[in-house]
A and B are shown apart, each in its own frame.
Chain A
């Protein structure tokens, strides 16, 4: 699971080792936990890959005790055909608008392939705010 940790508003991490221990318990290597804690102490939002999160809500509560806010990046399965229908555009228009290959869009819709990590992220952004996503992709 990809986690985003947001440092305390007070800009002060009360117990760096306790936070590091929480991270190691969810499978974060010790050295990565150190880098993460160092970033948090500097007031930086940090990203960390945690391979063994069993209870996300509990993790949120545990980190909240130290003033940390936790978010995670989750890839939802997007129904590309339904999304395109909602936008009322053709496959060609959809592909052109978001810088995608039309064959790729067709393969997704027909279930021949599945959007991978970055493509899934892009599709989530399109689903959430199609106009903004198109605007951000246009130079």
Chain B
């Protein structure tokens, strides 16, 4: 179990296998999210393929891009990496389910005093 910024990450060993990683994440709001993805680590950059995210105790619409951004920020902190790219994936639910989404790249936010601070 790993934590960062009130997010708690639990590895599901039964559903993880070499580069396939299954995590259950508890958010500060108490939402529980299951994340299942192939993970490729290149130095301090992480590439996620076949990325899927499923809500456990959430209503539709509880988890938007802002929440994803916060989750990714916490993930980068917890696992000490500089960027996470979610490769081309399909929307699994909601409007446009099955639609292919463009890759998303998230970079770790630096301290506010750092002028090079950047994000998506």
Contacts and interface: CB of A to CB of B under 8 A. Distances in A.
A137 B55 CA distance: 44
Given A41-B52, A41-B54, A42-B98, A20 B93 contact: no
B15 A41 contact: no
B90 interface: yes
B2 interface: no
Given A21-B15, A33-B15, A42 B90 contact: yes
Count chain A CB atoms within 10 A of each CB in B34, B54, B90 and give the residue with the most.
B54
Interface residues of B, number: 20
Contact of B54 (A16, A30, A31): A16
Interface of B: 12, 14-17, 20, 22, 24, 34, 36, 50, 52, 54, 56, 60, 90, 92-93, 97-98
24 contacts: A12-B60, A12-B93, A15-B34, A15-B56, A16-B52, A16-B54, A17-B15, A17-B34, A17-B36, A20-B22, A21-B14, A21-B15, A24-B14, A30-B16, A30-B17, A33-B15, A34-B50, A34-B52, A38-B52, A38-B90, A38-B92, A41-B93, A42-B98, A43-B93
